[in-house]
Amino acid sequence: MDRDGAPTPDQALLGTVLRLGDNALILGQRLAEAMTHGPELEEELANANFALDYVGQARMFYAYAAELEGGGRDEDYYAFRRDGHEFRNLLLVEQPNGHFGDLTARQFLFEQFYLLQLEALARCADERLAAIAARAEKEIRYHLRHASQWVVRLGDGTEESHRRMQASLDDLWRFTGEPFAADDVDAAFAAHFGGPDLPALREPWRERVAAVLAEATLTMPADEWMDGGGRQGRHSEHLGYLLAEMQFLQRAYLDARW
Amino acid sequence: MQDENWPLWEVFIRSKAGLAHRHAGSIHAADAQMAIDHARDVYTRRSEGVSIWVVRSADLVASDPADSEAFFEPAADKIYRHPTFYEIPDGVENL
Amino acid sequence: MYTQGLDQKAGKGEAQAAESAERLAAFQARVDAEEKIEPKDWMPEAYRRTLVRQISQHAHSEIIGMQPEGNWLTRAPSLKRKAILIAKVQDEAGHGHYLYSAAETLGTSREEMVDDLLTGKAKYSSIFNYPTLSWADIGAIGWLVDGAAIMNQVPLCRCSYGPYARAMVRICKEESFHQRQGFDIMLSLARGTPEQKAMAQDALDRWWWPSLMMFGPSDKDSKHSAQSMAWKIKRFSNDELRQKFVDVTVPQAEFLGLRVPDDDLEYDAASGHYRYGEIDWEEFIQVLKGNGPCNRQRLETRNRAHAEGAWVREAARAYATKQRGRRAA
> What CATH number should be reported for the domain holding residue A163?
1.20.1260.10
Is residue A4 assigned to a domain?
A: no
Is residue A139 assigned to a domain?
A: yes
Q: Does residue C6 have a pLDDT over 80?
A: no
Q: Does residue B3 have a pLDDT over 90?
A: no
Residues from chain B that touch C104, judged by Cβ atoms under 8 A, are 8, 26
Is residue A13 assigned to a domain?
A: yes
Rg, C-alpha atoms of chain B: 21
How big is the B-C interface in CB pairs under 8 Å? Answer: 46
Helical H segments across A35-73, by residue range: 41-69
Classify the complex by whether its ipTM is higher than 0.95, answering yes or no.
yes
- pLDDT tens digit string along A161-200? 999 999 999 999 999 999 999 999 999 999 999 989 999 9
Closest chain B CA to residue A50: B41
Confidence of residue B47 (pLDDT cuts 50, 70, 90): confident
Question: pLDDT value at position C224?
Answer: 67
Residues from chain B that touch C313, judged by Cβ atoms under 8 A, are 3, 6, 30
- pLDDT tens digit string along B52-76? 999 999 999 988 888 888 888 888 8
Question: pLDDT value at position C2?
Answer: 60
Residues from chain C that touch B30, judged by Cβ atoms under 8 A, are 313, 316-317, 319-320
Nearest to B30 among C38, C98, C320 (CB): C320
Question: pTM of the predicted model, to two decimals?
Answer: 0.94
Report CB contact under 8 Å: A45, B45: yes
Q: For chain B, list the contacting chains (3+ Cβ pairs, <8 Å).
A: A, C
Interface subset of A 213-252, CB within 8 angstroms of C:
245-246, 248-250
- Helix (H), strand (E), coil (C) string for chain C: CCCCCHHHHCCCCCCCCCCCHHHHHHHHHHHHCCCCECCCCCCCHHHHHHHHHHHHHHHHHHHHHHHHHHCCHHHCCCHHHHHHHHHHHHHHHHHHHHHHHHHHCCCCCHHHHHHHHHCCCCCCCHHHHCCCCCHHHHHHHHHHHHHHHHHHHHHHCCCCEHHHHHHHHHHHHHHHHHHHHHHHHHHHHHCCCHHHHHHHHHHHHHHHHHHHHCCCCCHHHCCCHHHHHHCCCCCCCHHHHHHHHHHHHHHHHHHHCCCCCCCCCEEECCCCEEECCCCCHHHHHHHHHHHCCCHHHHHHHHHHHHHHCHHHHHHHHHHHHHHHHHHHC
Residues from chain B that touch A40, judged by Cβ atoms under 8 A, are 6, 28
Report CB contact under 8 Å: B42, C310: no
The mean pLDDT value for A107-134 works out to: 98
Is residue A1 assigned to a domain?
A: no
Percentage of residues of chain B with pLDDT beyond 70: 97
Closest chain B CA to residue C105: B26
| Full set of structural domains in chain B with CATH | 8-81 (3.10.20.520)
Residues from chain A that touch B31, judged by Cβ atoms under 8 A, are 153
Report CB contact under 8 Å: A245, C75: yes
- pLDDT tens digit string along C109-164? 999 999 999 999 999 999 999 999 999 999 999 999 999 999 999 999 999 999 99
Closest chain B CA to residue C108: B5
Q: Does residue C228 have a pLDDT over 80?
A: yes
Question: Whole domain around residue A123: which residue ranges?
Answer: 9-252
Is residue A223 assigned to a domain?
A: yes
Report CB contact under 8 Å: B65, C40: yes
- Count how many domains chain A has: 1
- pLDDT tens digit string along A53-74? 999 999 999 999 999 999 889 9
Contact status of B31 with chain C (Cβ, < 8 Å): yes
Minimal CA separation from A183 to chain C, in Å: 29
Is residue A234 assigned to a domain?
A: yes
Is residue A2 assigned to a domain?
A: no
Is residue A257 assigned to a domain?
A: no
